[in-house]
Copies of this chain bind each other. A is one copy, B any other.
């Protein structure tokens, strides 16, 4: 696939939940940004760091995480192209979590001031940005539930449901067949399990013919059963059309 060189993915995504005029779209595309390519596992932002930019993922996968004193790691969210991976940190001024690339990524780095100016003068865009941060928050809430109250099988299934749902919505994949570069260790760190147990849990989902997962490709064999297994209800993603 070709590299991405403008902010059109962002426009496309916001157009789904907000009513942007042609001028709005042009204004977004006119945002100043620096394009930057990250290798695998590179740090985009570090916890504690003062931030002056907001980062948009144009291509590749990324994730947010926090490290514990004892060395443990908790992944807090995954991100797919067209998403702001660092709006929350950017707006608050001091990063409260780490943002890392998962594979080779292309990012657009927008100065916070430029984004703030745009949202100050344009209510429609302001609302779109705000809604983005609110949907982020809703996803975090669901993750608290996932990690707090579901058993390993439901946790993994739920996470897969969420990612597949978002990938589908962004136009990625076809016939339930997706690029899925997450390692089992990353799945484990996102669900609060160990890599070993994640492995066994995935095997059980495969055995029951809910999914196929290998070589970085995920196939959903039985979407309904997967949702059932994961106690998945898409409401929290606020993507109803």
| A residues adjacent to B (C-beta < 8 A) | 47-48, 64, 66, 68-70, 72-74, 76, 88, 91-92, 94, 96-97, 120, 123, 126, 130-131, 133-138, 140-145, 147-150, 191-192, 231, 235-236, 238, 240
Contacts and interface: CB of A to CB of B under 8 A. Distances in A.
Contacts of A191: 148
**Residue among A143, A144, A150, A240 facing the most chain B CB atoms (10 A cut-off):** A144
Nearest to A93: B238
A76 to B, nearest CB: 5
Contacts of A74: 144-145, 148-149
B88 A134 contact: yes
23 contacts: A48-B235, A66-B141, A76-B144, A88-B134, A88-B137, A88-B138, A91-B130, A91-B131, A94-B235, A94-B238, A96-B138, A96-B142, A96-B235, A97-B141, A133-B137, A137-B137, A140-B141, A140-B143, A144-B144, A144-B147, A147-B147, A147-B192, A149-B192
Question: Which secondary structure dominates where chain A touches chain B?
Answer: helix
Contacts of A123: 120
Nearest to A90: B134
A92 B134 contact: yes
A120 B120 CA distance: 9
A143 B146 CA distance: 11
Contacts of A88: 134, 137-138
Contact of A144 (B130, B143, B236): B143
Contacts of A145: 66, 68, 74, 76
Contacts of A142: 66, 96
A64 B138 CA distance: 12
- The 3 closest A-B CB pairs, nearest first, are A148-B192, A140-B140, A137-B137
A150 B145 CA distance: 15
**Residue among A136, A142, A149 facing the most chain B CB atoms (10 A cut-off):** A149
